[in-house]
């Protein structure tokens, strides 16, 4: 493809990143194959087909539109390249729980997302179901309400598009519960009305998310970690985190994680990655 191209050399652990991206990729919207991630990204110049090739300590990005500066900003946010990993190692290197994990994967970074609304919808669809089920729901939603884009991929529907759909129709088309459809509609309406899901976020964004029906602390904290760039965000009610820490409750996780402030997001990612490559 005719492309703007950029190569970034940063400490980067590609294996868990690719595994996580593959586990979360919405069918038809994003592909992950042979170390290459392909999707449509809305840049200043309009929709662009973006290909990111992830390797050890090297990220190559090509796009059908946009400037090198736009691609660098996209890659930095998407792959967590702005973080100082020496700070993470210094904070956790001697910790009894996290020290071995950080020393084993010193180049592990926190993945962001190029479309905060898509990430939020996918997270809502994944509430209390498996990643595979969430991807299936997301694929149905994108096929029904997205639009054709370059490279044979689907452009994810905008908040305005989903806000115009009746929740009863969403329930029927995506094959989800009515309460989940109500949450998606409320989320779309909030974003259409001006709620911006992107880094850097603010405490007001988390508050606004929690005000929506069907969005609780786990969802808000997960989005703060993945989308809002909050490096102290930690979804303390997460079942995988509780199991990894041998904690019986969210309160136990909160207590155990207090010593990991202000980098609890990195603690979460290392604990998740040590269990499975899904973030």
Q: Are 117 and 223 in contact (CB under 8 A)?
A: no
In Å, how far are 99, 153, 197, 226, 270 from 221, measured between CA atoms?
24, 30, 13, 9, 16
Q: What is the DSSP pairing of strand 154-155 with strand 36-43?
A: unpaired
DSSP 26: P
User: Would you say the C-alpha torsion 202, 200, 196, 217 has a positive or negative sign?
Assistant: negative
Catalytic residue among 83, 221, 238, 252: 238
Q: Which two tokens stand for residue 259?
A: 């010593």
Name residue, tokens 């994944």: 126
Name residue, tokens 């759909």: 165
Q: What are phi and psi of 180, to 5 degrees?
A: -70, -40
User: Which residues face 58 on adjacent strands?
Assistant: 55
Respond yes or no: is residue 238 known to be catalytic: yes
Q: Which residues are catalytic?
A: 238
């Amino acid at each position: 493809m005719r492309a703007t191209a950029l190569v970034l050399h940063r400490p980067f652990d590609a294996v868990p990143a690719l595994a996580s991206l593959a586990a979360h990729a919405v069918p038809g919207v994003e592909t992950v194959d042979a170390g290459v991630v392909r999707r449509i990204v809305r840049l200043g110049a309009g929709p662009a087909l973006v290909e990111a090739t992830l390797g050890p300590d090297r990220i190559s990005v090509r796009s059908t539109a946009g400037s090198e500066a736009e691609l660098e900003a996209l890659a930095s946010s998407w792959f967590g390249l702005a973080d100082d990993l020496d700070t993470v190692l210094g904070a956790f290197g001697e910790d009894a729980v996290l020290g071995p994990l950080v020393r084993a994967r010193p180049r592990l970074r926190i993945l962001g997302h190029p479309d905060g609304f898509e990430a939020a919808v996918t997270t809502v669809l994944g509430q209390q179901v498996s990643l595979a089920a969430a991807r299936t729901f997301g694929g149905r939603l994108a096929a029904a309400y997205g639009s054709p884009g370059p490279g044979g991929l689907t452009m994810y529907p905008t908040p305005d598009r989903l806000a115009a759909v009746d929740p009863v129709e969403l329930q029927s088309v995506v094959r989800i519960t009515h309460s989940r459809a109500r949450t998606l509609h409320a989320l779309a309406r909030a974003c259409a009305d001006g709620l911006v899901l992107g880094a850097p976020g603010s405490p007001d964004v988390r508050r606004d998310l929690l005000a929506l029906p069907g969005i609780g602390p786990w969802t808000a904290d997960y989005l703060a970690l993945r989308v809002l760039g909050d490096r102290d965000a930690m979804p303390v009610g997460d079942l995988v985190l509780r199991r990894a820490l041998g904690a019986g409750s969210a309160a136990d996780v909160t207590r155990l994680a207090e010593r990991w402030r202000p980098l609890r997001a990195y603690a979460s990612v290392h604990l998740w990655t040590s269990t499975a490559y899904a973030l």
